[in-house]
Amino acid sequence: MEYRRLNGSGLFVPALTLGTGTFGGSHGFEGWGHTGTNEAARMIDMCLDAGLNMFDTADIYSRGLSEEILGKAIAQKRNKLLIATKGTFPMGDDPNSKGASRFHLTEACEESLRRLGTDHIDLYYIHGFDSNTPVEETLRALDDLIASGKIRYIGCSNFSGWQLMKSLSISERYGWSRYIAHQVYYSLLNRDFEWELMPLGIDQQVGTVVWSPLAAGRLGGRYRRNCPAPEDGRVARGGAPVRDNIVSYERLYNIVDVLDELAEETGKTVAQVALNWLLQRPTICSLVIGASTEEQLRQNLGAVGWTLTPEQVKRLDAASRTQKPYPYWHQDQRPEFSSQLF
C-alpha cells in the first residue's frame, strides 16, 4: 500500500480508505448495504493485510449503527489503524441535534467516541458547512476537542471554496487548529472539484480525500451503452449519493469506452483504472472505497501498486473533460497566470 502525507500535516494515510457507509443499513441508508459485524471484521482484516489502515464513517450513517459496527469490528486492533468520522447532520428531532455549534459538536464527538469504543478519533470532519453557526464558534470548539485529546486532526467535507478559505483564514488569525483535509466528491464522471477546490487545496496545503470515486458504482464497469442499469446496483437500490440529475449517461458511456480500452491494455478492471486515474491528480491523498461484498473490496484494493502511463491518463482526461462555467473558462484564456498551479 502506498502512503501519502495528508497535506498541511505530518500524518500519513493510505492511498485507499475503507468507507463504512454500507455498515448497518438503516435510517435512510438501506440502499447503501447491510454489512454486519462479522463481515465487517473480515473486511477490516483484509484491509489491514493489504496495508489499508484507515477507516471512514460518520455519525449519520445508519443513525450511529455504522460507528457501532466499526467499533466492534476493530476491537483489539485500535492501535493498528486510523479512524475518521464526521458530525454535523441531524441525529434527531431536537434543534440542537444538528449543526456545527459548540453544543452539538461536543455531544456528537462524545457519542461517536462511545459508539466506536475508543478514547480518540484520528480525523474528525465537519460533514457540511453550517451557515447558522459562526465559523469562529465551530473552529474554537474543534480546537478545544483537539486540546482535550479527543480528536487529533480536523477536516471538512462538502465545503465550497469560500467556506473553506474563510475557515482557514480564521484558524490562522486566532492560532487555532486548521482543516488539514477536505473530503469531496470527485470522479472521472464529475470533475467540478478541479475548478475551485483543487487550486485552493494546492495553494493552502489542504489534502483531498475523495468520496464515491466511482460515482456510486457507475464507473465500475456494469453501466454500459444499450444495456439496462444493474438492478442490484446502488443507483437502483436508492443508495447513490451521486444523483442521476447531475449525470450525463452519454458521457459516462464514452468514458467507459476508454476505460475498457485501458483495462485491456493494463490487465486491470475498469474500476481499478478509474481509481488509478484519480490517484494521479493533484492534492489527492486517499480515495474512500466502499464495498458491499468481500470480493468487491478485493478488486478495489487492486487499484494501487501500479500506475497508468501519461499517455493513458491523457486519454481519460480527454474523454471526461467538460466545458467549465464562468469565470473558469475566462481564466483559461490566460494560461500564463494559472500554469503554476497544475
pLDDT digits (tens, 9 = 90+) for 316-326: 999 999 999 99
Q: How far apart are CA 125 and CA 161, in angstroms?
A: 16
Output the pTM of the full model: 0.95
Q: Known catalytic residue: 61?
A: yes
> What is the C-alpha to C-alpha distance for residues 126 and 154, in angstroms, rounded to an integer?
8
* Candidates 61, 124, 179, 185; catalytic one: 61
> CATH 3.20.20.100: does it fit domain 3-337?
yes
| pLDDT tens profile 149-194 | 999 999 999 999 999 999 999 999 999 999 999 999 999 999 999 9
Model confidence at 229, pLDDT cuts 50, 70, 90, reads: confident
CA 238 to chain centre: 19
* Model confidence at 269: pLDDT above 60: yes
> Beta-carbon neighbour count of residue 60 at 10 Å?
23
Which cell numbers hold the place of 24? 448497518
Contact (Cβ atoms closer than 8 angstroms) between residue 55 and residue 121: no
Q: Which residues of 290-301 are buried (b: 16+ CB within 10 A; e: fewer)?
A: bbbeeebbebbb
Judged against a pLDDT cut of 60, whether residue 340 lies above it is answered with no
Q: CA-CA distance, 101 to 125, in Å (whole number)? A: 14
Q: Which helix (H) or strand (E) holds 138?
A: helix 135-147
Measured CA to CA, the distance from residue 294 to residue 50 in angstroms comes to 13
Residues in contact with 71: Cβ distance below 8 Å, sequence separation at least 6, in sequence order: 115, 116, 117, 118
